[in-house]
Amino acid sequence: MEYSVTRSVAKNTAIMMTTQIVTWVAGLVLLFFLPRYLGSKGYGELFLAMSIQAIFWTLVDYGSQEFIPKHISIDRENASSLFIHSASIRVILWLLSMILTIGLCIFSGYSWHLVLLILVLTTSNLWEGMSSLIRGCFLGFEEMKYPSVAAASRRFFLMATAVPALLLGAKEVVVVILMAASTLVSFLINAKYLKKILTIHFSIRIRTMVDLLKAGIPYFLLSFFGIVYYRIDAFMLSMMTPKSVVGWYGASSKLFDILMTFPLIFSTALLPVLSRQGKFEYNSMRNTTGKAIEYMVILGIPIAIALAFFAKDIVGLLFGLAQFSQSTIILQIFAAGIVLVYVDFILGGTTISVDRQRWSAFFSFLAIFVNVGLNFFMIPYFQKSMANGGVGAAIATDVTELFVMLATVFILPRDLFTRKLLYAVTKGLACGVTMALAILGGEALGFPWLAQVAIGSVVYGSSLILTKVFEPAEIERLLKAFSLKNLKGIFAQRSEASA
């Protein structure tokens, strides 16, 4: 990557990662308490309600995470008009989503308790969708400090209220009410700072709304199909297995989601850069994409290896093996798909930057059939053979992610995938083998599992250096962009802007 690109991505990544530390800590604390205090059945209901909420949230969001930042990064003068018309559209879409949610609850025959969980969470989609819209505006201006603070505040509020509530005996209904309140906190903070980048003029034209609806269709379909094939497994598990199985699967899935944080942040910071480069500087975009894929592969390999080797220890530490021992094998299967998902984050942003989102939406649509078809056969099979249908759902998820990655590679320009990229990925995989061997050695010597993780990480890092995965100039740019001096400058600017 060029230094200017590296610094821009580093700035927003550093800001988001700093506040993300709060999010990580809060997320892990919640992951420690929720499964333990709700139990596998209660957590299964909560996870199912959250999965259904996520599906309907994509209707309210209507592609804000991609469409809004892309268009604002190219045309900032019309950002205010884009925001007010998009906000009006989302109110209408929220009303539609509530009608569809009620219909789904009636059709599925869920208990009133579960229906209440679903309705509380989908109601919160109104302000969560607005918050996502504002976040997209900030991202278009490449200013992520305020949305990052809002996201961290949301997690901290939920942790600070849900944990005491659980300790006092609260159950799922109280938890979802607190979840809805936490998203309201995030929205209020985002709305407070929106004036930093936009001057809102309340002038609405029906024609403009219709045009935006049409233009946003590919982005909506891309996000909708993506979330459906990623979350439909919870719905199918609820229909084919006991609630405890949904809980086992949900616990591993939420931990998997937390591990998606860095690629999500990195790809989010990268999107406006790729959007500009895709329109005006194709060669720079090709270089940026290649380097981003390298980084994600290098990052994903050690995480996948650590999960595969230490899934049982992690599950025991976070959830407790008494009720969630069956989550171990599910987490190990998810580990196999980590690198695929990390790469998919980058490829997804690249398809948008080169205007291939229609093809990407088409293949995401096909991925639903792949996922549903696999789940239809594999969930009952593993439920019968292992009494854990979540194993089949996890395998279906990995296979679907592989399908999405191959399909995305197919629709992108061939010159994005160079021999240099393939060579770097191969080196990364070889370094991963040395890490796995080091862990096996530590296990043979009887080292504790955390010590094995540390040894494996040191060996992996040393292997990267010895095999020269990164060029000296690239290392220099990264060190400069993420240097203490540069980061101090970033946060000094942030403090001045907040004053």
What pLDDT, in 10s, does the model give residues 321-344? 989 999 999 999 999 999 999 998
What whole-number percentage of the chain has pLDDT above 70? 87
pLDDT in tens, 411-466: 888 888 888 888 888 999 999 999 999 999 999 999 999 999 999 999 999 999 88
Mean pLDDT comparison of 163-172, 218-227, 284-293, highest-scoring range: 163-172
pLDDT confidence of residue 487: 43
What is the mean pLDDT of the segment spanning 217-241?
A: 84
What is the mean pLDDT of the segment spanning 196-222?
A: 85
pLDDT confidence of residue 139: 81
Judge whether 233 and 375 are in contact, CB under 8 Å: yes
Place 284 in a pLDDT band, splitting at 50, 70 and 90. Answer: confident
pLDDT confidence of residue 11: 53
Place 276 in a pLDDT band, splitting at 50, 70 and 90. Answer: low
Local structure of residue 415 (DSSP, 8 states): G
pLDDT confidence of residue 127: 94
Q: Which two tokens stand for residue 208?
A: 């403009």
Alpha carbons 49 and 36: distance in angstroms, whole number:
18
109: left (phi over 0), alpha (psi -120 to 50) or beta: left
pLDDT confidence of residue 266: 77
Q: Which two tokens stand for residue 51?
A: 């999965």
Q: Chain-wide mean pLDDT for the chain?
A: 85
Judge whether 360 and 367 are in contact, CB under 8 Å: no
Instruction: Report the length, in residues, of the chain.
Output: 499
pLDDT confidence of residue 220: 85
Judge whether 339 and 297 are in contact, CB under 8 Å: yes
pLDDT confidence of residue 490: 39
pLDDT confidence of residue 467: 87
Lowest mean pLDDT among 85-94, 200-209, 304-313, 473-482: 473-482
Place 82 in a pLDDT band, splitting at 50, 70 and 90. Answer: confident
pLDDT confidence of residue 13: 55
Whether 495 has a pLDDT exceeding 50, the answer reads no
Mean pLDDT comparison of 187-191, 194-198, 409-413, 464-468, highest-scoring range: 187-191
**Distances in whole angstroms, Cα of residue 213 to Cα of each of 62, 216, 218, 353, 363:** 9, 5, 10, 20, 21
What is the mean pLDDT of the segment spanning 135-148?
A: 82
List the Cα angle 50/54/56 in 5-degree steps. Answer: 120
pLDDT confidence of residue 121: 96
Q: Is residue 224 helix, strand or coil?
A: helix
Alpha carbons 20 and 64: distance in angstroms, whole number:
21
Whether 295 has a pLDDT exceeding 60, the answer reads yes
What is the mean pLDDT of the segment spanning 97-119?
A: 92
Q: Which of 228, 227, 248, 253 is nearest to 389 (CA)?
A: 248
